[in-house]
Amino acid sequence: MKRPLIVALAFVLLLFILFSLANTNHRQAGVQISSVSIPSPTPRITATPRITAAPRITAAPRITSTPKPQTTGARYILNTNTKKFHKPSCTSVTQMKEKNKQTYYGTRSEIIEMGYSPCQRCHP
């Protein structure tokens, strides 16, 4: 707490000395101080991002808990919070909150395309 106070006092003292030297013309062995100028800080230039096109908003695929009539695929449990998918027998499924749990019928590659990654326990 004392350090910022000491730094501030030293800065004020330095400014006082500089301004007192600027106001009085001291002549010493060919040295004349006529004025002291303190350069102003350069203004910061910040770039503003340009928006060239409106972002496209696409609807996410709908996940239902009712089985779809498909000839291929399997049943997986999706965790919508962590974006992981599991086998129904995985121990992580029992630890999941019900609001994050969704059942999906389809192929593994379809789930990966939707942005989900496989569980590291059950390796679906």
In a domain, 41, yes or no: no
In a domain, 7, yes or no: yes
With a CB cutoff of 8 Å and minimum separation 6, the contacts of 60 are 114
The residue segments making up the domain with residue 83 are: 74-118
Of 12, 32, 30, the residue nearest 22 (C-alpha): 32
In a domain, 53, yes or no: no
In a domain, 43, yes or no: no
In a domain, 40, yes or no: no
Looking at the structure of the chain, the number of domains it has is 2
In a domain, 87, yes or no: yes
In a domain, 19, yes or no: yes
Cα separation, 100 vs 81, whole angstroms? 6
In a domain, 42, yes or no: no
Q: For the whole model, what pTM was predicted?
A: 0.43
Please give the chain's pLDDT, 124 residues, in tens. 567 777 777 887 777 776 676 665 555 555 555 555 666 666 666 666 666 666 666 666 666 655 555 546 789 999 999 999 999 999 999 999 999 999 999 999 999 999 999 999 999 8
